[in-house]
Amino acid sequence: MNQSRTLLNPDVVIVGAGVAGIYMLHKLKNMGLTTVVLEKSDELGGTWNWNRYPGARCDIPSLEYSYQFDEGLQQDWNWSEKYSGQPEILEYLNHVADRFDLRKDISFEEEVLEAKFNEESSLWKIKTNKENYESKFCIFATGCLSVPNKPDIEGLDNFEGQLLSTSYWPREEVDLSNKNVAIIGTGSSSIQTIPEIAKEIKNLYVFQRTPNYSIPSNNGPMDKEVEADIKSRYAEFRKENWSSGFGIASDTGEAFISESDINEVNGQLEENWKSNGLGFFGGYADIPVDPNANEVAADFVRNKIKEIVKDPETAEKLIPKYHIGGKRLCVDTGYFETFNRENVYLIDLHSNPINRIGESSIEADKEYDIDTLILATGFDAMTGALTSLDIVGRNGIILRDQWKQGAKSYLGLGISNFPNLFTITGPGSPSVLSNMMPSIEQHVNWITDCIGWMIDNNKSVIESSLAAEEEWMDLVNEIAGMTIFKSTESWYNGSNIDNKAKAFLPFIGVPVYAEKLEEITSNNYQGFIFDVSNK
Ligand code: N01
């Protein structure tokens, strides 16, 4: 049946041409390995290609959310704003692909349907919508937030108006002027979209299941003096990422709220509110670990919401009751202010759940006539891109089945039963609780070094041991248990997806992770097994 398919045999197949895939390609090409990147879209960029909704912007400062592997690149590229918008980041990634001549090794509009390990040949057989490949290594660079969560709401498939999703926003201009629009979800994507679209549309109905903490971005044009200063000591500046818990230089802090004068604390939080964005915790190390300290920071933001939102009832609905940071902190440009507009309505789904979606309406406490429905309902985070296709390891085991009770991985890099398969920023690594850019570079560098080490030492197969993987995930959970993250319902632990096993997946603590990774590596890749062809 598949006789028209060609069998291609690169050394490495990389899945996904986002931030991780393009840097991985660059490194492997430099090593002299034949490599192909398979990309489902007709454009590279991953997250920054798909998520084109109005207001889409990175909430980590541009000078930190950029590659550091090439001094020429980081000196030459100039960001126009403190926090870059999606179009500029996409332009940057395209520049990187052209600058390092990567495009010709990326196959676009090619979707991987199955990846199967052949135990006899120790090769990965990868089937796509176009070709069959056989490669020694298979690297999933598929991102942590790439499979959208489609809500299970009665009538959604029969909606006849304009249906949009923040995670698959059309490339062409979307004209929402004079439209009645509903948006479901109030996470980061929605919080960035709402202020932008509220200005131009007739009415906006915001359907909120859980309110979120959000900090003003205070974005603006790039301060040229700051840029020049950082560029004059870029390598040193980048090192600061590695000493901060979440990998963001602006987030470093040694003080404890519990040991500080409350007036001083509120003064510092006020400063953070005015300038730090996602680094709002900046200065205080106990906000993520001590519920009492966390409550001080949470109350600070709750009071800000009360001050900003004029209608007390709306303000009350917008106030989160859980630990600040437990769900991913959001960063906005006038989000809470938008609820003072006369054309914006907040519907709290806890008191008024959506009953059904009609052909041109949405029914909760009453029926809202709408022209456009925007889904901003998040992602099957961290595992979705790996469980939505058949990845078949030893003895025919499918990764999706192996992870039924919760995803387990060694360091977020390797998975037992799946030899010669690497994941970049997989479960069990800092990933989404870090600045993704340096975390991606860290993993890409590690994978490159590991493959190089295997070549130098005549090893052909690597696999993480089950014991090492279990011990690692126990550590991930033990650390999470010491923080406020574990006790909050969030996509970090799969709570946003029906029937997904609840397991806390990110490793908390960038410096600790880096230390452990270094220790394991210098100990001859402790916990990995080499050249076991049949277990
Ligand atoms: O998704 P989310 P997102 N009925 O999961 C609600 C990154 N990001 O796309 O909280 C009604 O945060 C859901 O409610 P609840 C960033 O890491 C980064 O906004 O589950 N509502 C929630 O309110 C971020 O965290 C940037 O109760 C439903 C919302 O939908 C991550 O992407 C910018 C529902 C989903 O929020 C994801 O953000 C944007 C249902 N059936 C995003 N199902 C940067 O700046 C879900 N919801 C880097």
- 220-225 mean pLDDT: 97
Q: Tens digit of pLDDT for each residue in 484-512? A: 998 899 999 999 999 899 889 999 999 99
How far is Cα 454 from Cα 265, in angstroms, rounded to an integer? Answer: 51
Q: Tens digit of pLDDT for each residue in 360-417? A: 999 999 999 999 999 999 999 999 999 999 999 999 999 999 999 999 999 999 999 9
pLDDT of res. 337: 98
How far is Cα 168 from Cα 49, in angstroms, rounded to an integer? Answer: 9
Range scoring the smallest mean pLDDT among 4-13, 298-307, 311-320, 474-483: 4-13
Look at ligand 1, atom 40, and give the residue with the nearest C-alpha.
151
Atom of ligand 1 nearest to the CA of 151: 41
Output the CA 188–ligand 1 centroid distance in Å: 6
CB atoms under 10 Å from CB of 345, counted, come to: 15
Q: Which of 328, 355, 432, 493 has most ligand 1 atoms within 8 Å of CB, for mutation?
A: 328
DSSP 12-63: EEEE--SHHHHHHHHHHHHHT--EEEE-SSSSS-THHHH---TT-B-SS-TT
Q: Which of 3.60.20.10, 3.50.50.60, 1.20.1270.10, 3.30.200.20 would CATH assign to domain 5-146+381-530?
A: 3.50.50.60
Residues constituting the chain: 535
Atom of ligand 1 nearest to the CA of 60: 48
pTM of the shown model: 0.96
pLDDT of res. 299: 98
Pairing relationship of beta strands 462-464 and 528-530 according to DSSP bridges: antiparallel
Give the amino acid at 283: G
**Residue 291 above 80 pLDDT?**
yes
CB 333 less than 6 A from any atom of ligand 1: no
Q: Tens digit of pLDDT for each residue in 166-197? A: 999 999 999 999 999 999 999 999 999 999 99
CB 55 less than 6 A from any atom of ligand 1: no
Residues 6+ apart with CB under 8 A from 173: none
Look at ligand 1, atom 16, and give the residue with the nearest C-alpha.
188
pLDDT of res. 109: 98
Q: Tens digit of pLDDT for each residue in 82-110? A: 999 999 999 999 999 999 999 999 999 99
How far is Cα 318 from Cα 320, in angstroms, rounded to an integer? Answer: 6
Output the CA 144–ligand 1 centroid distance in Å: 13
CB 190 less than 6 A from any atom of ligand 1: yes
Residues 6+ apart with CB under 8 A from 133: 7, 8, 9, 10, 13, 36, 38, 124, 125, 126, 127
Mean pLDDT, all residues of the chain:
95
Q: Which of 62, 352, 377 has most ligand 1 atoms within 8 Å of CB, for mutation?
A: 377
CB atoms under 10 Å from CB of 95, counted, come to: 13
**Residue 243 above 90 pLDDT?**
no
pLDDT of res. 532: 65
Give the amino acid at 368: Y
Query: Model confidence at 2, in pLDDT bands (50, 70, 90)?
Result: very low
Output the CA 430–ligand 1 centroid distance in Å: 19
DSSP 131-191: -EEEESEEEE---SS-SB-----TTGGG--SEEEEGGG--SS----TT-EEEEE--SHHHH
CB 376 less than 6 A from any atom of ligand 1: yes
